[in-house]
Copies of this chain bind each other. A is one copy, B any other.
């Protein structure tokens, strides 16, 4: 079983949570890939450099200067800090961006109706999977930053980390029995967003349709679950949504998505 684990900004931004999470992650005995988001560091660095962060519908617009900042912060500072901490925890980690070995190639997002700038959506071409496979089979743990390579030759593109994790899991599922784990700030998908004990243990596509219709699943959770079901439809064995603290717990105490 290969585990593809994604952590978001709430962990990346908090040194204590990150340290605890990385020790847990390093202790997982299975072959594994970690995908990290960016968090607030990019916004802080951009601000300090006098670059205004523009958001449209909760998404960052990536102009040329912002692309430099996210490349520095995601593929440089965050990726190498995580790799260094995993090495210290005894996990032989290798940090990659989507450009390395053509790991994740993408297509620049259509500028109509909203021009997000240098933002790309991953292609399912599996071009870079031989490299990831070479490293995984040799015993290394891959740590992936959400910067991808424009397949049309235009350079680097900023990419949503959830989608990167889903693309990697789908790609690897052709070779390995693969589980995708999204770690986030809640214990799982909650029936009542204010009640941490209302975790829904399992969601099928039919239940997902019901939850959407009832408005239980909305906002940021909606694309996360849609991503997750796309992974299952394309070969990933199961997708789990759980708290970062639950990574080493049996069953993760979270929400498992299945057919």
Cα A205 to Cα B59 with chains together (Å): 60
For residue A207, give the distance in angstroms from its CB to the closest CB of chain B: 41
Residue total for A at the interface (Cβ-Cβ under 8 A)? 41
**B72-A84 in contact (CB<8A):** no
CB of A58 closer than 8 Å to a CB of B: no
Q: State which residues 52-87 of A face B: CB under 8 Å.
A: 68, 71-77, 79-81, 83-85, 87
CB of A155 closer than 8 Å to a CB of B: yes
CB of A50 closer than 8 Å to a CB of B: yes
**A77-B87 in contact (CB<8A):** no
Q: In the complex where A48-B50, A71-B76, A76-B71 touch, is A95 in contact with B87 (Cβ < 8 A)? A: no
**B97-A101 in contact (CB<8A):** no
Complex partner residue of A87 from B99, B130, B147, CB under 8 angstroms? B99
Nearest CB in chain B to that of A102: its residue: B87
For residue A13, give the distance in angstroms from its CB to the closest CB of chain B: 14
Complex partner residue of A72 from B73, B87, B100, CB under 8 angstroms? B73
So how many copies of this chain end up in the complex?
2
**B100-A149 in contact (CB<8A):** no
CB of A175 closer than 8 Å to a CB of B: no
Complex partner residue of A100 from B71, B83, B85, B101, CB under 8 angstroms? B83
- Chain B residues contacting A73 (CB-CB under 8 Å) are 72, 76
CB of A225 closer than 8 Å to a CB of B: no
For the complex of A and B, the 6 pairs showing the least CB-CB separation, nearest first, are A76-B76, A72-B72, A72-B76, A94-B100, A75-B76, A72-B77
Q: A87-B99, A93-B101 are in contact. List 13 more A-B contacts (CB 8 A).
A: A71-B77, A71-B80, A76-B76, A76-B80, A80-B97, A80-B100, A84-B99, A84-B156, A87-B149, A88-B155, A92-B101, A95-B99, A134-B138
Sample 13 A-B pairs with CB under 8 A, ordered by A number.
A49-B49, A71-B81, A72-B73, A72-B77, A76-B77, A80-B100, A81-B155, A84-B149, A87-B99, A87-B102, A93-B100, A93-B101, A101-B140
